[in-house]
């Protein structure tokens, strides 16, 4: 029989000692909980605290069931940290930071140890409150003690007291609510209100959603008006505390800033209500075998969400059966009208239901929140012992059941914890190892990591291409090794390296010898050199000292296990007889006469000034190096792979074509040729990535379309044709899945290629694809329901399970296309490219004699163009509207239920955040170039466009993130007769090339849309951006080519405009351009100072001169019929 605490007498011994036996037991249990939590925290794997885990895009912080371990530690110990989760844990930092900081004043206590002490104290307080609560509910001392042991043996407790976690303190405040709910009413209403106020404020202060316990306690213990007053007072107190915290912590987000929390709602990865219920009621106590999840293969996250019940060990099912029995008995008891304290049933049952309902819609890994509902579950299970009097055998049986459950849980969960810690300790990438080595040797020397250029044969695999960093540092193949140049004095001390020389003191130039073989020339004040690949795939290095090399200094070449795109180096062998350095048994470096080689291991002290004569070195950690004294005179070396590389397809082996341009501004020619080289070298088989292929693991249709079009415009029709065939055959591909601009943008690119190929065989081969894509656009235009499509190819790992990646089109409103692109609905942008796509599909149909198709698509395109220009010139309206929200939600719910509602609401919200259609930059990057949709409302479009500042990087302004937007805006200015704006943007970008002299560009901040390729390498450790970026290169190339010759179809029939972007300053010297490609024709022209001669091969267009040519300039046009 259970006897309430207030009715139990005290033994004489404990009375004489001044403490009750309950007090002694409470202190003892709390001490044991403190010790257990302290030991657990001390054994946490170090890898969970690696700095790399703070990177949002790396997903490395999710390893421990999505617990942001290092971020929580920083919240507890670092005033300068960002404290991003203060939006849901309002005063967590204010409550923990002073204590943890003070604990670090103790000898030998660092931030981790201080946080562990705080966590242990939290554990002790939670167990003490649980024991006292159970005693208030009438549990016997042994029963209460054993239930406390069950709490400490549970999976949630063991796993989440191993790491610092905000939910520890949240669990304590929930236990406080239960403790107060189990107490008899206070002596006066005022005292009752005060203690309820304390609980309400405490639960809110630690976790917003835990405030439900404050509400429930107030409703269960107070009259309605008093409950409302206490709840309002708690909110006011926490708001005041948040204000104080905001003053003390400089990087804190504002109180109540909850906009980002919607992204955690209705996550498909959570698996739905059944998966949530499994974790909530069972996995929290008995751990299953964890799954490994997450997009980053180097940092696989532990997860119980979809793990089968009873997995992990033979003890799991017996433990689950005992727990289920205890839980069922507790549920039966709580449903009976019994002698529970006033309001306690409401707090317990309401809290359980509220937490269960919350996590049915919020969160991805339910187990992460285990410490919030564990106390509730244990208290619920304790009600199984609320037995009628006179049932000692049943009571003993229950006690034995509980004791067995505690023993099984402790063994099983302990084993599961050990396996989880072992997994966490093994996580990390090659980059992680490098970061740890850089922390050990902060003075380096290390790669600069600011910029790099990709070099390789067009069409070759990305793995067979080289990475070059400004100054000469080089990795000949991805994952090979690093080569750098050092300047040393007579003692061998390092004075400068190719990575330490100022970026702006370097100059490099990329080229394709004979249109095929990549090379890069580089120069610094200390040396000049050139890396070049020959027809056999061998990389040749030419290097010599420059006049600026100080007297007494010489050059050295370093081969290391770190570099632009290096891997670990474990074995080097020097063969003096043949002057050959064998690297990993896979590559061979041939050195010139007079080169002296010294080998060693960077882990050895004094490695920077080696004196050994070893001819072979092995390094288990991958830090072998070769230090090569370079001859004083100009010399050459070569690097060859001992394994064969992939060979591009025959269709890709044509020499890369460079338009022949002669202008007085060398930068214009250098930039134009550099864009051709970069785009050609970006091609991997029949694909091209948006940017650096080690960042982007898959092709994206949008970027591929721009690259294919630019290559065609530059005359590189063989490369463009291969890319176009891929665009034709696949309707939707890219990291974000099926996006609504795909059919239109692909049709535009296909026509850009086909109109220059002028090949009926190509037209006929892609005609079925053209029909299919045009039909998609018409279907979207008339859509009354959600249209879904399967992406063809990989999507980004973090979206792999999301149904959103199949959502292409939403119900249309009028004649504007409503669809998903870049996780919102930019209707004017989508309508523009859909218009362009249908117009280009109609051109295919006309050439092939399909007049009915041509007429149908032209009429549909006219609807789109009228709607687009009507929106631009009509009365402003807010898009998307609330009517759109209702329409989208109904349609999406019919397709995907609640997940569809979430998707539609998210798209609508993101579109509103973008500022509406007329504030969305995508509207203005496509109106004239490349879609021509704005010709009807050209004046209104120009007025809106030119209200914006001239785009591009500028002093005193943040570096632009989306560089392709800026160049596209410059292109609009060219079409709208404002070439000076286009020039200002172009020159700004020339001045801000990532790698000086290479005319390479960037995208975003950090590793935008990463596929984690760089984490497998020793290089590009902390990326400031993605570079190179090929969509931007394509935009720059198209802009420069159309400055020389472009088609203008404003007003009807197309005219060929010569020199639309030629500045007047050029006309003081001869200007010429040959090999330019416009739709249907090749164009060559020349200005000799007084007249212009134009040769057009193919379609016959009327010709006019750009605005900078003097009025009345004589023009001679020669038309040549030809293929």
Q: What is the largest CA-CA distance in the chain?
A: 120
In this structure, the number of other CB atoms found within 10 A of the CB of residue 106 comes to: 11
Q: Is the pLDDT of residue 1066 over 60?
A: yes
End-to-end CA distance of the chain: 101
- Helix or strand or coil: residue 858? helix
pLDDT digits (tens, 9 = 90+) for 748-803: 999 999 999 999 999 999 999 999 999 999 999 999 999 999 999 888 877 766 77
Judged by DSSP in three states, 425 sits in helix
Q: In this structure, are residues 261 and 87 in contact, taking their beta carbons and an 8 Å threshold? A: yes
pTM score, two decimals? 0.92
Reduced to 3 states, what is the DSSP secondary structure of residue 652?
helix
Q: Which residues contact 208 (CB under 8 A, 6 or more apart)?
A: 88, 89, 90, 258
pLDDT above 90: residue 268? no
Of 665, 735, 671, the closest CA to residue 703 belongs to 735
Region 116-132 average pLDDT: 97
* Cβ contact 352:376 at 8 Å: yes
**Cα–Cα distance measured from residue 5 to residue 676, given in angstroms and rounded to the nearest whole number:** 84
Round to whole Å and give the CA distance between 1038 and 562: 37
Q: How far apart are CA 968 and CA 951, in angstroms?
A: 10
Contact 513, 502 (CB under 8 A): no
What per-residue confidence (pLDDT) applies to 957? 87
- 29 CB neighbour count, 10 Å cutoff: 21
Cα(382)–Cα(132) distance, rounded to whole angstroms? Answer: 13
Q: Does 506 sit behind a cis peptide bond, omega within 30 degrees of 0 on the bond before it?
A: no
Instruction: Determine the Cα–Cα distance for residues 200 and 194; give it in Å rounded to an integer.
Output: 10
pLDDT score recorded for residue 406 = 97
Q: Is 472 left (phi over 0), alpha (psi -120 to 50) or beta?
A: left
Q: What is the pLDDT of residue 797?
A: 77
List 480's β-bridge partners, or say none.
566
In sequence order, the 6+-apart residues with CB closer than 8 A to the CB of 79 are: 97, 101, 248, 249, 250
Q: Give the CA distances from residue 592 to residues 541, 580, 633, 636, in Å, rounded to whole numbers and listed in that order.
A: 10, 9, 10, 6
- 243 Cβ partners below 8 Å, 6+ apart? 255
CB contact set of 156 (below 8 Å; sequence gap of 6+): 284, 285, 367, 370, 371, 374
Which DSSP symbol is given to 222?
Answer: S
User: Which is nearest to 213 in space by CA: 241, 172, 254, 157?
Assistant: 172
Whether residue 830 contacts residue 821, with contact meaning beta carbons closer than 8 Å, is answered with yes
Within 13 Å and on the Cβ side, how many CA atoms surround 971? 27
Per-residue pLDDT at 625: 95
In order, the DSSP letters of 1013-1057 are: GGGGSBS--S-SSB-SBHHHHHHHHHHHHHHHEEEE-TTSS-EEE
Q: Is the pLDDT of residue 900 over 90?
A: no
CA–CA separation, 877 and 871 (whole Å): 8
pLDDT of 3 strictly over 90: no
Render pLDDT for 302-328 as a digit per residue (tens, 0 to 9).
999 999 999 999 999 999 999 999 999
The two tokens of residue 35 are: 């010790």
pLDDT of residue 255: 60
DSSP label of 962: B
Structural domain spans, the chain: 21-426, 434-648, 730-915, 1041-1120
Residues 74 and 744: their CA atoms lie apart, in Å, by: 48
Does pLDDT of 60 surpass 90?
no
Residue-level pLDDT at 390: 65
- pLDDT tens-digit profile of 687-725? 999 999 999 999 999 999 999 999 999 999 999 999 999
Burial class (CB in 10 A: 0-12, 13-18, 19+), 685: middle
pLDDT at 1092: 97
Of 261 and 917, which is predicted with more confidence? 917
How many residues does the structure list for the chain? 1123
In degrees, rounded to 5, the angle at the alpha carbon of residue 122 between the alpha carbons of residues 120 and 125 is: 110
Average pLDDT over residues 443-469: 93
pLDDT in the model for residue 877: 77
CA distance 1024 to 57: 13
Q: What are phi and psi of 580, to 5 degrees?
A: -125, 130
* Cα separation, 171 vs 355, whole angstroms: 12
pLDDT mean over 854-858: 97
Contacts of 955 (CB under 8 A, 6+ apart): none
Q: Where are the alpha helices (DSSP H) in 154-256?
A: 155-160, 166-181, 189-206, 211-221, 224-248
Helix (H, G, I), strand (E, B) or coil at 994: coil
Radius of gyration of the chain (CA): 35
Give the tokens for residue 819: 């669809």
From the number of C-beta atoms within 10 Å of its C-beta (0-12, 13-18, 19+), residue 226 rates as middle
Q: Distance (Å, rounded) from C-alpha 945 to C-alpha 942?
A: 5
pLDDT, mean over the chain: 92
- 499-528: pLDDT as tens digits: 999 999 999 999 988 888 899 999 999 999
Contact 714, 1077 (CB under 8 A): yes
- Sequence-distant (6+) residues with CB within 8 A of 837 are 743, 744, 745, 746, 747, 748, 773, 774, 777
Contact 118, 96 (CB under 8 A): yes
| Confidence band, pLDDT 50/70/90 cuts, at residue 962 | very high
Give the position of tokens 């969970």: 48
What burial class does residue 1087 get, using C-beta atoms within 10 Å of its C-beta: 0-12 exposed, 13-18 middle, 19+ buried?
Answer: buried
The pLDDT score that the predictor gives to residue 950 is: 94
Q: Is the pLDDT of residue 276 over 50?
A: yes
Closest CA to 217 of 235, 190, 198: 198
Looking at 499-508, 559-568, 1051-1060, which range is the least confident one?
A: 1051-1060
Greater confidence (265 vs 198) lies with 198
Report the run of H or E that residue 150 belongs to, with start and end: helix 141-153
Q: Which strand (E) or helix (H) includes residue 120? A: helix 111-136
Extract the tokens encoding 287.
Answer: 């751990």
For 809: left if phi > 0, alpha if psi spans -120 to 50, otherwise beta; the answer is: beta
CA pair distance 850, 854, nearest whole angstrom:
6
User: Minimal CA–CA distance to 656: which of 679, 680, 673?
Assistant: 680
Residue 814 has pLDDT above 50, yes or no: yes
Q: What is the pLDDT of residue 920?
A: 92
Segment 31-56, tens digit of pLDDT:
999 999 999 999 999 999 998 888 77
Residue with tokens 């919200």: 909
Lowest-confidence segment of 25-29, 229-233, 263-267, 1115-1119 by average pLDDT: 263-267
- Does residue 597 contact residue 581 with C-beta atoms inside 8 Å? yes
Q: Is the pLDDT of residue 2 over 50?
A: no
Nearest-angstrom CA–CA distance, 406 and 149 = 7
**938-946 and 963-975 helices cross at what angle (nearest 10)?**
130
**What span, in angstroms and rounded, lies between the C-alpha atoms of 282 and 263?**
26
852 three-state secondary structure: helix
Pick the closest to residue 147 from 390, 323, 283, 288 (CA basis).
323
- Given a cut of 50, whether residue 9 has pLDDT beyond it is no
pLDDT of residue 647: 62
| Angle subtended at Cα 25 by Cα 23 and Cα 28, rounded to the nearest 5 degrees | 110
In our burial notation (b when 16+ CB lie closer than 10 A, e otherwise), range 409-438 reads: bbebbeebbebbbebbeebbbbbbbbbebb
């Amino acid at each position: 029989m259970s006897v309430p605490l207030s009715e139990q007498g005290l033994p004489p011994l404990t009375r004489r000692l001044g403490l009750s036996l309950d007090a002694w037991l409470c202190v003892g249990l709390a001490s044991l909980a403190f010790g257990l939590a302290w030991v657990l925290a001390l054994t946490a794997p170090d890898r969970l605290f690696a700095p790399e885990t703070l990177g949002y895009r790396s997903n490395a912080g999710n390893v421990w069931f999505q617990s942001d371990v290092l971020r929580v530690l920083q919240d507890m110990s670092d005033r300068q940290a960002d404290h991003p989760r203060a939006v849901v844990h309002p005063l967590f930092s204010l409550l923990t930071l002073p204590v943890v900081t003070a604990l670090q004043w103790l000898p030998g206590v660092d931030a981790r140890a201080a946080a562990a002490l705080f966590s242990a104290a939290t554990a002790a307080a939670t167990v003490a409150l649980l024991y006292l609560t159970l005693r208030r509910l009438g549990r016997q001392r042994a029963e209460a003690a054993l239930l406390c042991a069950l709490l400490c043996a549970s999976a949630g407790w063991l796993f989440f007291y191993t790491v610092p976690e905000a939910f520890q303190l949240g669990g304590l405040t929930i236990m406080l609510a239960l403790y107060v709910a189990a107490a008899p009413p206070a002596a006066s209403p005022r005292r009752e209100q005060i203690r309820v106020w304390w609980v309400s404020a405490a639960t809110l202060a630690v976790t917003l959603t835990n405030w439900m316990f404050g509400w429930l306690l107030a409703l269960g213990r107070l009259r309605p008006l008093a409950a409302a007053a206490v709840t309002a007072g708690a909110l006011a107190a926490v708001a005041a505390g948040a204000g104080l915290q905001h003053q003390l912590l400089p990087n804190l987000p504002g109180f109540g800033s909850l906009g980002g929390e919607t992204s955690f709602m209705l996550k498909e990865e959570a698996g739905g209500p059944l998966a949530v219920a499994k974790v909530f009621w069972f996995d929290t106590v008995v751990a299953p075998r964890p799954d490994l999840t997450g997009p980053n293969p180097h940092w696989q996250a532990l997860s119980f969400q979809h793990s089968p019940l009873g997995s992990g060990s033979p003890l799991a099912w017996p433990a689950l059966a005992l727990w289920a029995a205890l839980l069922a008995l507790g549920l039966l008891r709580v449903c009976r009208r019994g002698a529970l304290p006033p309001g306690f049933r409401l707090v317990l049952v309401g809290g359980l239901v509220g937490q269960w309902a919350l996590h049915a819609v919020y969160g991805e890994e339910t187990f992460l929140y285990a410490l919030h509902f564990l106390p509730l579950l244990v208290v619920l299970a304790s009600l199984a012992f609320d037995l009628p009097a006179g049932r000692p055998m049943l009571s003993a049986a229950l006690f034995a059941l509980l004791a067995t459950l505690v023993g099984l849980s402790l063994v099983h969960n302990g084993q599961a914890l050990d396996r989880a810690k072992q997994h966490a300790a093994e996580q990390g990438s090659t980059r992680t190892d490098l970061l740890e080595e850089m922390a050990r040797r902060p003075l380096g020397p290390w790669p600069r990591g600011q910029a790099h250029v990709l070099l390789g044969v067009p069409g070759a695999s990305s793995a067979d291409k080289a990475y070059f960093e400004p100054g000469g540092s080089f990795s000949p193949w991805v994952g090979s090794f690093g080569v750098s140049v050092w300047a040393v004095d007579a003692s061998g001390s390092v004075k400068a390296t190719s990575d330490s020389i100022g970026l702006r003191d370097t100059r490099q130039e990329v080229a394709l010898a004979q249109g095929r073989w990549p090379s890069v020339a580089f120069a610094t004040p200390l040396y000049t050199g050139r890396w070049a690949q020959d027809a056999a795939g061998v990389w040749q290095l030419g290097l010599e000292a420059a006049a600026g090399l100080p007297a007494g200094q010489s050059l050295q070449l370093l081969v290391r296990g770190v570099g632009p795109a290096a891997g670990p180096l474990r074995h080097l062998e020097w063969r003096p007889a043949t002057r050959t350095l064998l690297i990993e048994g896979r590559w061979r470096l041939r050195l010139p006469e007079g080169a002296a080689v010294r080998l060693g291991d960077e882990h050895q002290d004094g490695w920077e000034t080696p004196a050994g004569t070893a001819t072979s070195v092995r390094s288990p950690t991958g830090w072998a190096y070769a230090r090569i004294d370079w001859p004083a005179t100009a010399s050459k070396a070569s690097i060859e792979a001992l394994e064969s590389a992939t060979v591009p397809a025959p269709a890709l082996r044509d020499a890369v074509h460079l338009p022949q341009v002669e202008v007085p501004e060398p930068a214009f020619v250098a930039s134009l040729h550099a864009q051709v080289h970069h785009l050609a070298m970006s091609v991997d088989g029949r694909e091209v990535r948006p940017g650096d292929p080690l960042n982007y693991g898959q092709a994206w249709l949008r970027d591929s379309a721009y690259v294919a079009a630019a290559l065609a415009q530059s005359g590189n029709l063989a490369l463009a044709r291969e890319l176009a065939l891929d665009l034709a055959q696949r309707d939707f591909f890219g990291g974000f899945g099926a996006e609504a601009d795909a059919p239109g943008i692909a049709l535009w690119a296909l026509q850009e290629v086909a109109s220059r190929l002028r090949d009926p065989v190509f037209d006929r081969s892609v005609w079925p694809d053209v029909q299919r894509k045009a039909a998609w656009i018409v279907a979207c235009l008339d859509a009354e329901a959600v249209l879904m499509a399967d992406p063809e190819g990989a999507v980004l790992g973090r979206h792999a399970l999301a149904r959103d990646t199949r959502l292409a089109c939403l119900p249309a409103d009028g004649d504007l296309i409503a669809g998903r692109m870049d996780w919102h609905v930019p209707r004017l942008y989508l309508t523009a490219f859909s218009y362009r796509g249908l117009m280009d599909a109609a051109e295919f149909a006309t050439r092939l004699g399909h007049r009915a198709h041509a007429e149908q698509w032209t009429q549909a395109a006219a609807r789109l163009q009228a709607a687009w220009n009507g929106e631009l010139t009509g009365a402003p309206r807010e898009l998307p509207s609330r009517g759109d929200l209702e329409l989208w939600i109904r349609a999406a719910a019919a397709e995907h239920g609640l997940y569809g509602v979430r998707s539609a609401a998210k798209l609508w919200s993101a579109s509103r955040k973008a500022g509406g259609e007329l504030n969305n930059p995508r509207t203005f990057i496509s109106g004239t170039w490349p879609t021509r949709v704005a010709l009807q409302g050209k004046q209104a479009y120009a007025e809106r466009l030119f209200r914006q500042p001239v785009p591009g990087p500028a002093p005193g302004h943040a570096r632009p993130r989306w560089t392709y937007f800026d160049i596209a805006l410059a292109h609009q200015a060219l079409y709208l007769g404002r070439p000076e704006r286009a020039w200002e943007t172009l020159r700004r970008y020339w001045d801000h090339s990532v790698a000086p002299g290479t005319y390479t560009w960037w995208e975003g901040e950090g590793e935008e849309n990463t596929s984690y390729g760089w984490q497998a390498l020793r290089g590009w450790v902390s990326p400031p951006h993605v570079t190179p970026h090929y969509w931007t290169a394509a935009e720059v190339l198209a802009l420069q080519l159309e400055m020389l010759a472009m088609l203008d179809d404003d007003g009807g029939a197309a005219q060929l405009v010569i020199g639309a972007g030629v500045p007047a300053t050029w006309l003081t010297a001869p200007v010429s351009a040959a090999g330019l490609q416009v739709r249907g024709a090749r164009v060559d022209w020349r200005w000799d100072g007084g007249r212009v001669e134009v040769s057009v091969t193919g379609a016959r267009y009327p010709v006019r001169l750009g605005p900078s040519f003097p009025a009345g300039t004589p023009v001679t046009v020669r038309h040549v019929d030809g293929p």
